[in-house]
A and B are shown apart, each in its own frame.
Chain A
């Protein structure tokens, strides 16, 4: 680290909590008591599954969102309004399609009050720093995703911010380009002189944060909270294949999966008549996972699955969780293994698979409750509203709309019930098994 690392705290979150209003009036807690600091001369990463509020934390620190409780401090002072020391690189680039590359950079220099006489020179300098020379007069639509994000980076560092915020900066860039951009961002940061002094990045990619960050803040979801902070003292440039790199990656996997995967219990503090929150994955994805495992002798490393299937790690965890709820797989540590039921399922014909699926679903309180309700109802049909009410009553923190959609998908796959979208009723299947 060539950066001046004197440990001054540039920006800090102190006891931040946040809520979003829900359409029906009550509030959804998205962040719970977040405390973190960004010191000068370091790269900090926020790592966590989708829905843990990483991007919300970034926007609160940037002063774009006012937290419901707690405060942001910059250089020890309470932040009111915009954080003028920060610039953001956006996930979706947020470039102006009607401006050329240099105009995109130029306008932010104008708006932030950069000395007018030096603007042209600064534009050229930043264009050179991010390797866009020759593209000054190109429009964003002529550029690939990677090149677009170079413009996004150039625009942010052009104004010489003390803090560079990056919100999943490489998730819309192809994998190879992302790899080179990561290295380049670090080079730029180290060569850039005084500013940007520090980088705060949001990511769900473990490899990315181990490569880039000095400190990794691991977040948990529902509501978002800081689970643990991992220091990463490896010297740069870091080697993806080194033993140290791999060890740290595995450690982070264990932290995330040990907690996210229902190894211990789904939710320990549930009331006795609890109802399981369905993970947001489709029956097709679960069947896909089973096929994958079957083709590899029934066991695989969860990280390997994510790499092989080119899927987001968080989504793989979700699918594994879904399969485990149905008792189709087991998850000893980082491994995912087929259970005897799972083996039976995968060997069965498509029709029999549905039967196994239905049987496993009925082990869950949620589906049993719904089936009982349908059976008891004189018309053998219940309304969408009723089911949503059950969900909201038992799981006030879950977002009931996607959960309901997912419930319908699972139920339809297992031929447990059928759903009429027009009348919004759930009834017995048309062709009962």
Chain B
């Protein structure tokens, strides 16, 4: 038991006290974090005050930023729990999976405002006196921007376990819990960490809406970075906007350095074989520092031992696992009950939706579909414009090792930054240029979704095998021919993946891009996104429900009809991994 050597006795006494300063710093940090969270707890249990008065002084900002960070992390915790439960259930229970997987596809295509009214009204009704309901509503709204792609990723890792690994777990009689701990979670770990990074960015995207929103003439506002920004925008306070942007960047950089980078380095121990597809992260100073802590080392190896060596259940039960009559009906019974519950909830939701939507007239439907068509054209324009600059740029970055090392972290930060925080500046620019929001919104949507394309192109260009590159050079292909003959086809599958994600992001972004709060009067143009945010503000749930349904339907339909086929073609024709 190696970790015992690092226990409190023995080694601790032998070293000079100064050797433990990193541990001291660590303990201080943890204590500080708890203190900060205690302040947050006060805010949560305070009396319900729908619209908190935001203090625009920069000195109030650190506290707001911490509140937002705490919400983001809490939402992430829920997303992770949801991912593990939902993904596991969908992967293991064939019957449930046939409903849960398409359902996830639909949930993924519903924008955050689609969940807002129900969640907010229900939770405020549940906690009428304190801020708990509003806080929970905000966290759940952030959660809806995070959870789905993590869940999809986990589901796919569980399903793609190799047949031999499956057989080995069966032959050596791992029970479900052992299989999960020893086989399934470790093999899903890498994907889970990378998806978590993306999800966190997705959660920040709607921070401004999640923390400050109008619902049927009522103004809700929670103290936080997002609401600070929205108030600053309303008042046209450019200094405060700049501070908020800086604070957001600080949060993203801190999370990257203190959480994601250490995790991506650490999770490499769980990679399946050498040379996986993910970009290699070389090192993390924070992880190095953490691993130099004696206290933490002891804790981690203790945890590792617990993971591996949970006390075995008594042998009698192992010999007869759920053999009794109870075992035979308990698990299937529970499953059946849960399945029935899901179906019932879905059925109820469908009936409610139908009732809401049923009151709309022919003219209303026409508006909804016309708006959806306009937004569809914008999404298409976003992909076109995004590809025009990201394809060459991504190839140039991915091709050169130096540019890759320097620019990839920058791109990663840029991609995590919630674009809506930059919209006010852009809108000011549009007004100055006399550009209407009808066209301008394309640029706004582009601002948020182009990164997905760039990211994927860079990754694929960096992964082009060296011998192919050498061949192109040795046959003296010109720069242009190198692009068309080697790089564009080689990155094509990744480009399609980028398009799918970017299109999803663009549909979502239309909600904040087609109707922008700017100073006193909000700017708006025709489109399904504007329709959604306006109807939510007016409290017109009929139009809201209809437009969200139409948007989700269009997104799912496009996925099935266009993207899946294109991805199949790309995989078959241009895949380098054969």
Contact = CB atoms under 8 A, between A and B. Distances in A.
Contact of B172 (A92, A97, A112, A141): A112
A91 interface: yes
B312 interface: yes
Contacts of B186: 96, 98
Interface string A80-101: 0010101110111110111100
A107 interface: yes
B160 to A, nearest CB: 15
Interface stretch (B175-183, B216-224, B295-303): B175-183
A91 B164 contact: yes
Nearest to A111: B174
A106 B308 contact: yes
A113 interface: yes
B469 interface: no
Most interface-central of A82, A88, A111 (chain B CB within 10 A): A111
B167 A59 contact: yes
B168 interface: yes
Contact of B183 (A64, A96, A103, A110): A96
A82 B173 contact: yes
B171 A111 contact: no
Interface string B179-205: 000110010000000000000000000
Given A98-B186, A110-B178, A141-B274, A159 B172 contact: yes
Contact of A97 (B271, B308, B312): B271
B162 A97 contact: no
B171 A107 contact: no
A64 to B, nearest CB: 5
Interface string B152-176: 0000000000101101101111110
B164 A97 contact: no
A113 B178 contact: no
A90 B178 contact: no
Contacts of A266: none
A111 B173 contact: yes
B interface, size bucket: 20 to 34
B270 A113 contact: no
Most interface-central of B164, B183, B271, B318 (chain A CB within 10 A): B164
Contacts of A94: 162, 164-165, 167-168
B302 to A, nearest CB: 16
A9 interface: no
A108 interface: yes
A88 B271 contact: no
A116 interface: yes
Contacts of A93: 164
Interface in B248-277: 269-274
A62 interface: yes
Nearest to B270: A98
A92 B183 CA distance: 16
B315 interface: yes
B13 interface: no
Contact of A116 (B168, B273, B312): B312
Interface residues of A, number: 29
B309 interface: yes
Contacts of B162: 92, 94
Contact of A88 (B168, B183, B270): B168
A84 B271 CA distance: 31
B319 interface: yes
B41 to A, nearest CB: 37
Given A64-B170, A103-B308, A111 B273 contact: no
B171 A86 contact: yes
A199 to B, nearest CB: 15
B306 to A, nearest CB: 13
A84 B321 CA distance: 14
B331 to A, nearest CB: 16
B312 A113 contact: yes
Nearest to B182: A107
A82 B273 contact: no
A394 B207 CA distance: 64
B158 to A, nearest CB: 16
Nearest to A65: B167
A111 B172 contact: yes
Given A92-B162, A98-B270, A141-B274, A110 B171 contact: no
A414 to B, nearest CB: 25
A424 B548 CA distance: 40
Contacts of B273: 97, 141
Contacts of A86: 171
A107 B178 contact: yes
A53 to B, nearest CB: 15
B272 A97 contact: yes
Interface in B2-16: none
A188 B308 CA distance: 28
A98 B173 contact: no
B171 A88 contact: yes
Given A90-B167, A97-B271, A97-B272, A84 B308 contact: no
Most interface-central of A91, A93, A113, A141 (chain B CB within 10 A): A113
A84 B173 contact: yes
A112 B315 CA distance: 10
A62 B171 contact: yes
A90 B186 CA distance: 20
A310 B274 CA distance: 27
Contacts of B315: 113
Contacts of A113: 173, 312, 315, 318-319
B285 to A, nearest CB: 24
Most interface-central of A87, A106, A107 (chain B CB within 10 A): A107
A82 B166 CA distance: 13
A112 B173 CA distance: 6
A410 B271 CA distance: 41
Interface string A372-392: 000000000000000000000
Contacts of B312: 110, 113, 116
Contacts of B309: 110
A11 B313 CA distance: 30
B274 A90 contact: no
B132 to A, nearest CB: 40
A108 B308 CA distance: 11
Contacts of B172: 87, 107-108, 111-112, 155, 159
A282 to B, nearest CB: 15
Contacts of B183: 96
B250 to A, nearest CB: 34
A90 B168 contact: yes
Nearest to B572: A421
Interface string A103-136: 1001110111100100000000000000000000
Nearest to A161: B171
A155 B169 CA distance: 12
Interface in B273-326: 273-274, 308-309, 311-312, 315, 318-319
Nearest to A109: B172
A97 B168 CA distance: 14
A141 B269 CA distance: 10
Contacts of B274: 141
Nearest to B311: A116
A96 B186 CA distance: 9
A82 B175 CA distance: 13
A98 B183 CA distance: 9
Given A98-B269, A116-B312, A141-B274, 19 more contacts: A62-B167, A64-B170, A64-B171, A82-B171, A84-B173, A86-B171, A90-B168, A92-B162, A94-B164, A94-B165, A94-B167, A96-B182, A96-B183, A97-B270, A97-B271, A97-B273, A107-B182, A110-B178, A159-B172
Shortest 6 CB-CB distances between A and B: which pairs? Answer: A108-B172, A94-B164, A94-B168, A113-B318, A98-B186, A111-B174
Interface of A: 59, 62, 64, 82, 84, 86-88, 90-94, 96-99, 103, 106-108, 110-113, 116, 141, 155, 159
15 contacts: A64-B170, A64-B171, A82-B170, A82-B171, A87-B172, A88-B171, A90-B164, A91-B164, A94-B164, A94-B165, A97-B272, A111-B173, A112-B172, A141-B274, A155-B172
